[in-house]
Amino acid sequence: MHNTLRIATFNIHKGVTHFNARFALHHQRDLLRRLQADVVFLQEVRDEHAEHSKRFAAWPETGQMEYLSNALWPDYAYGKNSTYPAGHHGNALLSKFPIIKTTNFDISAHASEQRGMLHSEINVPGWDIPLHAICVHLGLFAKWRREQLLSVTNLIAQHVPAEAPLIIAGDFNDWGMRTGRIFAENLGMHEAFEQHAGKPARSFPSWLPILRLDRIYVRGFHVKHVEVHSGAKFVKISDHAMLTAILTRVPNSP
């Protein structure tokens, strides 16, 4: 039985570095593979882009999500959110365990920003109820984020049983932190870094993190360990740091 889960959340910046200077997807995959997370929450996965696929010689023919999943994460889900003439991007989930159901909900708060909530149910071996994993990337403006978090809260109430283990992770763009705290309280959840280290993680910019943009919210778990993966090497990887957490299911949880 897998009572302990290692998870990661990472905004991959569409597989390229800041200002689209370098193709970084191969570095991102190497980092993910080294960390061996059971479930990975990804934002800004550009699964198709006609211009970049010509510009960068190493661009994968199969699409970014399949390239990142490789053989390590046999199950994956992709939520196409933003579409444009050259292609599309959105959120993705990679899982070592079977994904039995996936829905991508539109939570856009404004026509100029297409945002989604990717919700997957995952069969973890030995569990008698699926893990509910939700990946989000919220808007740039506080008013839009408040509307999006209200949408997420309502969708969870409709689609996630109260007793089910639940993880919500991604790029919340909530540097003020107040909106996220209200969101967590309404759902009876805890932010993993806040619970373990006192505050959400500094994750942006990745080479010298200052802003607390990325989050991991949990319900039905103890937080055993958290870590921010950042530093000078991330100039060649992404503008966001990667966050990881080791979680253990609460005893006697269904």
Q: Which amino acid is at 32?
A: L
The answer to whether the CB of 192 falls within 8 A of the CB of 223 is yes
Q: Is 3.60.10.10 the CATH classification of the domain at 4-249?
A: yes
Question: Average of pLDDT values for 177-190?
Answer: 88
Mean pLDDT score across all residues of the chain: 87
Binning pLDDT at 50, 70 and 90, where does residue 248 land? very high
Binning pLDDT at 50, 70 and 90, where does residue 235 land? confident
The answer to whether the CB of 59 falls within 8 A of the CB of 14 is no
Read off the pTM: 0.90
How crowded is residue 245: how many other Cβ atoms within 10 Å of its Cβ? 25
Question: Average of pLDDT values for 99-107?
Answer: 95
3-class SS letters over 131-166: EEEEEEECCCCHHHHHHHHHHHHHHHHHHCCCCCCE
According to DSSP, residue 252 is labeled: T
For the chain, give every domain's residue range. Answer: 4-249
